[in-house]
Amino acid sequence: MEPIEQSFAVKFRYGVYFTQGLFDPENTVLTDVLQQDKGTGPRKVFFVIDRGVAVAHPHLTQAIKSYAAKHSDIIRLLADPLVITGGEEVKNSIPLLQQLLEAVNTHRIDRHAYFIAIGGGAVLDMAGFAAAIAHRGIRHIRIPTTVLAQDDSAVGVKNSFNFFGKKNFLGTFVPPFAVINDSDFLLTLDDRDWRAGISEAIKVALIKDAAFYNQIKQDAAKLALRDLPAMQRLIHRCAEMHVQHIGGADPFESGSSRPLDFGHWAAHKLEQLTHYSLRHGEAVAIGMALDVTYSMLDGRLTEAECEDVLELLEELGFDLYVPALSQTEPGSEQLSVIKGLQEFREHLGGQLTIMLLNRIGEGVEVHHIEEPLVLQAVNLLKKRHQHQPAANL
């Protein structure tokens, strides 16, 4: 018998919205988003809130209830908002994942309801994963509350959960129904979380847009002093570039290339080696410093360009070295971080593909990394760190 061949395309579309005071009764961004499905009657909604956000915004739960009451013709809360642990811990906890799935079952959250998560990237990752696997997919709206989530992780199509001690081992490619960035949430971030998300903007600027990199340099002093308009500009442009890339040739990463993960092969391993005491953005800053220095040692980047990037990262308050970067494997002289290369390749599949820099604004993919040059780059960063002021961590 002849084989039967199937071929079809599925179109995805979602918006990334920017506002302040999302749950102000007069703000209609959320209600406008909910009415995009052209349904009739109130939309069934369930909220999950990052505990850190709930603590920083003690009136948030009541504000959500009041907002829903004000717009009862559009919103029907299926239950009180559920507050869960935030931070990377949430992506390592099977009981927390089960708690979300139990909420879906208990409150009868179906595929036509809206699973709305408010929090940092880790909570959004885990909540998105739960929404994606329950009923084969529940409409998911992300309300990111950190710089890192607003300019990077939340605007993409990935959801994930850590497993086997490996970051993002479980996951799905499921676009959100919408992403809503409320800059008011940024005002209560501590300095580390304010700073951490800037690294993702530098990352995308380094590999794609020298003009954006120069804008970040121009705004560096303001960003370091927590100037909100400067941060709003950075987040909007960074999110725009991520969305443009994701909508390109390989949105679900079926190949081995992942250019937006510049600096990430080492970052993911450093997070693990430090037991996640490093923020993701802090680890990315170190990973970029390593790859920028490696690019210079490999003859791709000039010393002046390398120094320019390292100085910018330091001006923004990033440490470019932690002892875990020099950690070696038990009974071996091999750097533990080198294992991150193999894990990075396994995560992507296919051949190793790492993004380096030819110049600021131009990334280049390579398929082989010289371990001696990595060690040399690590030692240069260690030496540099020893001459820096006290750590920011």
Tokens (6 digits) for 153: 């992780």
pLDDT for residue 257:
47
Give the CATH number of the domain where residue 260 resides: 1.20.1090.10
Give the CATH number of the domain where residue 115 resides: 3.40.50.1970
pLDDT for residue 166:
80
- Give the model confidence (pLDDT) of 232-241 as tens digits: 999 999 999 9
Residue 156 lies in a domain: yes
Residue 222 and residue 208 in one domain: yes
Spatial CB neighbours of 172, under 8 Å, sequence gap ≥ 6? 128, 129, 132, 133, 158, 159, 160
Buried b (16+ CB within 10 A) or exposed e, 42-71: ebbbbbbbbebbbeebeebbebbeebbeeb
Residue 73 and residue 212 in one domain: no
- Give the model confidence (pLDDT) of 154-213 as tens digits: 998 889 988 888 878 899 999 999 999 999 999 999 999 999 999 999 999 999 999 999
Distance CA(309)–CA(381), nearest Å, equals 13
218: number of Cβ within 10 Å: 11
pLDDT for residue 391:
47
| pTM (2 d.p.) | 0.88
Residue 96 lies in a domain: yes
Residue 214 lies in a domain: yes
Residue 314 lies in a domain: yes
Residue 137 lies in a domain: yes
158: number of Cβ within 10 Å: 19
Amino acid at 146: T
Which helix H or strand E contains 354, and what residues bound it?
strand 354-359
Question: What domain range includes position 277?
Answer: 192-386
Residue 1 lies in a domain: no
Residue 183 and residue 264 in one domain: no
Q: Enter the DSSP assignment of 306.
A: H
Residue 113 lies in a domain: yes
Which of the given ranges, 33-42, 137-146, 266-275, has the highest pLDDT on average? 137-146
Distance CA(287)–CA(277), nearest Å, equals 15
Residue 390 has pLDDT above 80, yes or no: no
> Three-class SS of residue 84?
strand
Residue 389 has pLDDT above 70, yes or no: no
What's the Rg (C-alpha) of the chain?
21
Tokens (6 digits) for 37: 């499905």
Distance CA(159)–CA(156), nearest Å, equals 9
Domain closes at, from 188, 205, 230: 188
Please tell me the total count of domains within the chain.
2
Spatial CB neighbours of 221, under 8 Å, sequence gap ≥ 6? 315
Residue 21 has pLDDT above 80, yes or no: yes
**Contact by Cβ (8 Å): 144, 116:** no
- Phi, psi at residue 32, to the nearest 5°? -65, -40
- Phi, psi at residue 128, to the nearest 5°? -65, -35
Distance CA(393)–CA(376), nearest Å, equals 24
**Contact by Cβ (8 Å): 363, 259:** yes
Residue 142 and residue 248 in one domain: no
Residue 137 and residue 199 in one domain: no
Residue 242 and residue 257 in one domain: yes
Q: Which among 148, 160, 156, 151 has a CA at the least distance from the CA of 176?
A: 156
Beta-bridge partner residues of 356? 364
Residue 349 has pLDDT above 90, yes or no: no
Residue 179 and residue 264 in one domain: no
Residue 147 and residue 24 in one domain: yes
Domain closes at, from 188, 220, 242: 188
pLDDT for residue 249:
64
Which helix H or strand E contains 166, and what residues bound it?
strand 166-173
